[in-house]
């Protein structure tokens, strides 16, 4: 147990180190000049050389890469991820406020897509070859080819522009003081983005659960349940679901990377102020510190999901305890 | 839907099992009746009434599974090639602006409508799709080569190389794709190369893992051991035994990379990190359409996205059907 924790802690530290180096180097070698990206080309050309130099100093483009990294690293150890030049606030603060929005969105999508996908998968698998199975399969295959951001646009057009049920974007109403925003307002704003993310997330889990259901219905213990006189429905409910639920749960934990990726796109469409949108803003505006910070947070997020999936796999199936997660996911797909 | 299955009862199974390309005709029916009599001797002789016999005929496929799969692949691939050719040849016309026909709703003349600069959205969509497909093909091709090299190196290069490459794969999969794409595209100054190299550098890990596993499995196999005992040198073994073993996996893996690559190219361009606005690209079309959604120009977003969905779907159909053809475990599905 202790070695398990130690090993994963070491892995986590290594991952964070590598991710920070990768992010820093990539941001550092970029030909995009943060000063020009932010003040605009015309304004930049009209500036006096002194002002330009001053701005370069402010954005830290004059110091060499490794010096910036060591400086960043030493302050990171003190819990300081630097200052976001775009938002004019400490990176930790920007990430903290935006994480709350993003986590609400992703948690809602995670739960809804998990439950919906699982239910669809079980129904399809139990009715293999029938109309409902084909419908679920067709739905999943179409979804797998659907661009997330386009679906978000379609939902926006239908539910916000055409029907007017939901707001066009943002996480709170426009023109209302932050103290007057109610939970209901916030919920009203999160519905459409969360719905988009959930609909897209269904395909994977549904197809996986369908395969598993078909396998399990052919297993000996279901046959035994039938011979004892249990109805197919009762056999599935009492002996099948238990075996289906945990693999589905672990798969859902392992898919956090995709949900995060989807949330970046969905947040952009709905102008939802979350981590993903901050990442896009930081990338377009050359905000190195924030980009590195978000990379680290997202990597830690994915790592957490994989770790939980890993532990859950071990809990379900003792044979799996020695394998890596990647092998497990592959094994479970076969 | 090509993936659908017809329900089969034991009687029909005997017929369905033989791969016959000929359509179900009178001969097939007679055979069916004979078989049925053989199964249930106590039943009265089958009805001679033609209508009833026809109604009780089993649902049969005119073609064998494999031929149907092959036809699906050919049709899908032809459609895609036609799409790219049409898109490339329409590219100049797609940039043509005509302010007298701006913001028109879809009609027979302009099936996808026109945008606020009077550009025909159908032409723009085709041109944009072909750009996206070409970028996707290029990036996925590079990605597959990287996967092949690293996967092979991991499997054959010894424990240290394997550990390093496995760790690299874990690292790549540990950061969300989109974030990594943003970082790489940003590092390369956005634009065509930013998105192409970004997609190429991020999509190899899964395929590399598959190739590594395949080669490891192949190396342990009896036929490779036998070849080694027979004195064939490693290069010969690699060429004549390992390559044919891994190649089908590689090809299907490569083709199944295309849909991902195309979707990610469109997504990253949509976010503003990919192709520049003056190029016809699906991501550009969709991100520009966002400004006109609340003005009610719904066709600017709906049709281009639908076309993208269809393209990705076709690529997926080609890939998964080719897999059925080359993968012995799935060939009779």
**Chain length of chain A:** 334
Calpha distance A294→A287 (Å, rounded):
11
Query: Residue A84: enclosing H or E segment and its boundaries?
Result: strand A83-84
How far is residue B292 CA from its own chain's centroid? Answer: 32
| Chain B residue closest in CA terms to A160 | B294
Cα torsion for B142, B73, B252, B271, to the nearest 10°? 50
List of chain B residues whose C-beta atoms are within 8 Å of the C-beta of residue A261: 176-179
Mean pLDDT check: name the lowest of A78-82, A271-275, B46-50, B236-240.
B46-50
Q: Identify whether the C-beta of residue B201 lies closer than 8 Å to the C-beta of residue B184.
A: yes
Q: Do B313 and A145 touch (CB under 8 A)?
A: yes
Enumerate the residues of chain A whose CB falls inside 8 A of the CB of residue B167.
Answer: 14
In the predicted structure, residue B35 carries a pLDDT above the cut 80 = no
Q: With beta carbons under 8 A apart, name residues in chain A contacting B7.
A: 129
Distance of alpha carbon B111 from alpha carbon B151, whole angstroms: 46
- A7 CB-side CA count, 13 A: 8
Q: For residue B38, what pLDDT band results from cuts at 50, 70 and 90?
A: very low
Residue found under tokens 């659907």: A146
Interface test with B, best of A137, A153, A156, A161 (most B CBs within 10 A): A153
Mutate to test the interface with B, among A18, A21, A131, A145 (most CBs of B within 10 A): A145
Question: What is the pLDDT at residue B112?
Answer: 77
Average pLDDT over residues A87-101: 86
A114 reaches B (C-beta below 8 A): no
A153 in contact with B at a CB cutoff of 8 Å?
A: yes
Question: What are the tens digits of pLDDT across the range A32-77?
Answer: 776 776 666 667 777 777 777 777 776 666 667 777 788 788 877 8
- Return the structure tokens found at A72: 């960043």
pLDDT digits (tens, 9 = 90+) for B123-173: 888 888 888 888 989 999 999 999 999 988 888 888 899 999 988 998 888
Q: Does A147 touch chain B (CB under 8 A)?
A: yes
Q: What is the pLDDT of residues B182-237, one digit of tens each?
A: 889 888 888 888 889 999 999 999 899 888 888 888 888 888 889 989 988 888 88
pLDDT of residue A191: 83
Which DSSP state fits B59? P
At residue A115 the predicted structure's pLDDT band, cuts being 50, 70 and 90, is very high
Strand partners, A89: A84
Residues of A in contact with B184 (CB under 8 A): 26
In chain B, what residues touch A286 (CB-CB under 8 Å)? 186
What percent of the residues of chain A are helix, what percent strand, and what percent coil, each to the nearest 5?
Answer: 80, 0, 20
* A326 vs B contacts (CB less than 8 Å): 169-170, 173, 209
pLDDT in tens, A181-206: 667 777 777 888 888 899 888 988 99
Interface test with B, best of A30, A147, A293, A304 (most B CBs within 10 A): A147
Q: Does B289 touch chain A (CB under 8 A)?
A: yes
Q: Do B313 and A284 count as a contact with CB atoms less than 8 A apart?
A: no
What integer best gives the mean pLDDT of chain B?
Answer: 77
Give the max Cα distance, chain B.
Answer: 80
Query: How many angstroms separate the CA atoms of B203 and B143, rounded?
Result: 6
Helices assigned H by DSSP within chain B: 10-16, 26-39, 50-55, 65-94, 121-156, 159-174, 177-187, 191-202, 205-219, 222-229, 234-237, 243-271, 282-289, 299-326
Helical (H) or strand (E) element with A148: helix A148-155
- Predicted confidence (pLDDT) per residue in B91-136, tens digit: 777 677 777 777 667 777 777 777 777 677 788 888 888 888 889 8
How close A275 gets to chain B, by Cα (Å)? 11
Does the structure show a pLDDT above 90 at B89?
no
In the predicted model, is pLDDT for residue B33 greater than 60?
no
CB atoms B178 and A148 under 8 Å: no
Fold classification of A91-333 (topology level): MetI-like fold (1.10.3720)
Q: At what angle do helices A275-285 and A91-126 cross, to 10 degrees?
A: 130
Give the minimum alpha-carbon distance from B263 to chain A in angstroms, rounded to a whole number. 6
Q: Which residue do the tokens 């192949």 mark?
A: B218
Residues of A in contact with B176 (CB under 8 A): 257-258, 260-261, 264, 298-299, 302
At residue B46, the pLDDT reads 53
Q: How far apart are CA B166 and CA B211, in angstroms?
A: 12
Interchain pair A145, B309: CB under 8 A: yes
Residue range(s) of every CATH 1.10.3720.10 domain in chain A: 91-333
Nearest Cα residue to B303 out of B109, B123, B130: B123
A298 touches B175 (CB < 8 A): yes
Residue A303, chain B, CB below 8 Å: the answer is yes
Tokens 């701005």 belong to which residue?
A: A55
Q: Does B4 touch chain A (CB under 8 A)?
A: yes
DSSP character at residue B240: I
Percent of chain A with pLDDT over 70: 85
Task: Note whether A30 contacts B186, CB cutoff 8 Å.
Answer: yes
Give residue-wise pLDDT tens across range A275-308: 888 888 888 877 888 888 899 999 999 999 888 8
State whether A265 and B188 contact (CB < 8 Å). no
Instruction: Residue count of chain B, please give it.
Output: 333
The pTM of this model reads: 0.78
Count helices and strands (H / E) in chain A. Answer: 16, 2
On average, the pLDDT of chain A sits at: 82
* Confidence label for B25 from pLDDT (cuts 50, 70 and 90): very low
Q: Is A134 on the interface with B (CB under 8 A)?
A: yes
Residue B292 has pLDDT above 90, yes or no: no
What's the pLDDT score for residue B65? 75
Give the number of other Cβ atoms within 10 Å of residue B45's Cβ.
8
Task: Give the integer Cα–Cα distance in Å for A105 and A118.
Answer: 20
Tokens 């052919």 label which residue? A218
pLDDT, tens only, B240-272? 888 888 888 888 888 888 888 998 998 998 888
Contact at CB, B263 and A147, closer than 8 angstroms: yes
CB-based contact A265 B178, cutoff 8 Å: yes
Residue with tokens 């392992």: A254
Return the pLDDT at B331. Answer: 56
Distance CA(B243)–CA(A13), nearest Å, equals 38
Q: How confident is the model at residue B34 (pLDDT cuts 50, 70, 90)?
A: very low
* Predicted local distance difference test score (pLDDT) of residue A114: 92
CB pairs under 8 A between A and B: 160
């Amino acid at each position: 147990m202790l070695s398990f924790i130690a090993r994963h802690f070491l892995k986590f530290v290594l991952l964070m180190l590598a991710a920070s180096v990768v992010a820093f180097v990539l941001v550092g070698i970029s030909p995009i000049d943060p000063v020009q990206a932010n003040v605009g080309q015309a304004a930049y050309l009209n500036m006096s050389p002194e002002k330009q130099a001053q701005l370069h100093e402010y954005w830290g483009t004059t110091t060499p890469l490794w010096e910036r990294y060591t400086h960043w690293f030493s302050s990171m150890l003190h819990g300081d991820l630097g200052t976001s030049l775009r938002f004019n606030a400490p990176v930790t603060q920007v990430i903290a406020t935006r994480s709350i929005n993003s986590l609400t969105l992703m948690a809602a999508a995670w739960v809804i897509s998990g439950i919906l996908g699982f239910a669809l998968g079980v129904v399809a698998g139990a009715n293999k070859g029938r109309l409902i199975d084909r419908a679920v399969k067709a739905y999943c295959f179409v979804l797998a080819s659907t661009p997330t951001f386009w679906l978000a646009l379609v939902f926006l057009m239908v539910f916000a522009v055409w029907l007017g049920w939901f707001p066009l974007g943002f996480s709170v109403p426009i023109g209302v003081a932050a103290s007057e925003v109610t939970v209901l307002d916030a919920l009203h704003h999160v519905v459409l983005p969360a719905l988009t993310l959930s609909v897209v997330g269904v395909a994977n889990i549904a197809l996986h659960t369908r395969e598993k259901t078909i396998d399990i219905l052919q297993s000996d213990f279901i046959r035994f349940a039938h011979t004892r006189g249990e109805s197919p429905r009762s056999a599935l409910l009492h002996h099948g679901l238990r075996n289906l639920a945990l693999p589905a749960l672990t798969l859902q934990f392992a898919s956090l990377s995709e949900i995060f990726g989807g949330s970046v796109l969905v947040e952009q469409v709905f102008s939802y102020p979350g981590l993903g949108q901050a990442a896009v803003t930081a990338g377009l505006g050359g905000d190195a510190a924030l980009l590195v910070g978000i990379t680290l947070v997202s990597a830690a997020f994915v790592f957490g999901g994989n770790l939980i999936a890993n532990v859950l796999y071990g809990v379900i199936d003792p044979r799996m305890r020695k394998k890596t997660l990647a092998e497990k996911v592959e094994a479970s797909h076969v | 839907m090509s993936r659908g299955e017809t329900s089969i009862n034991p009687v029909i199974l005997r017929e369905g099992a033989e791969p016959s390309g000929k359509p179900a005709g009178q001969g097939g029916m007679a055979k069916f009746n004979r078989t049925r009599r053989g199964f249930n001797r106590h039943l009265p002789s089958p009805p001679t009434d033609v209508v009833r016999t026809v109604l009780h005929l089993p649902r049969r496929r005119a073609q064998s599974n494999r031929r149907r799969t092959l036809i699906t692949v050919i049709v899908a691939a032809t459609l895609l090639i036609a799409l790219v050719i049409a898109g490339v040849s329409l590219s100049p016309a797609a940039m043509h602006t005509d302010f007298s026909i701006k913001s028109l709703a879809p009609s027979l003349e302009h099936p996808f409508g026109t945008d606020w600069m009077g550009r025909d959205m159908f032409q723009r969509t085709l041109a944009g799709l072909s750009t996206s497909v070409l970028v996707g093909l290029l990036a996925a091709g590079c990605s597959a080569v990287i996967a092949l090299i690293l996967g092979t190196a991991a499997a054959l290069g010894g424990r240290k190389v394997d550990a390093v490459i496995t760790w690299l794969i874990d690292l790549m999969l540990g950061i969300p794709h989109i974030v990594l794409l943003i970082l790489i595209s940003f590092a390369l100054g956005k634009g065509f190369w930013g998105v192409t190299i970004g997609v190429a550098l991020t999509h190899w890990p899964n395929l590399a893992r598959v190739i590594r596993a395949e080669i490891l499995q192949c190396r342990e196999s009896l036929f490779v051991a036998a070849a080694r005992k027979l004195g064939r040198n490693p290069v010969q073994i690699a060429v004549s035994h390992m390559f044919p073993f891994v190649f089908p996996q590689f090809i299907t893996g490569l083709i199944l990379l295309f849909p991902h690559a195309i979707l990610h190219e469109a997504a990253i361009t949509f976010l503003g990190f990919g192709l520049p606005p003056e190029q016809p690209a699906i991501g550009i079309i969709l991100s520009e359409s966002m400004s006109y959604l609340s003005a009610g120009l719904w066709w600017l977003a709906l049709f281009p996205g639908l076309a993208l969905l269809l393209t990705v779907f076709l690529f997926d159909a080609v890939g998964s059907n080719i897999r059925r053809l080359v993968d012995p475990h799935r060939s009779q599905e």
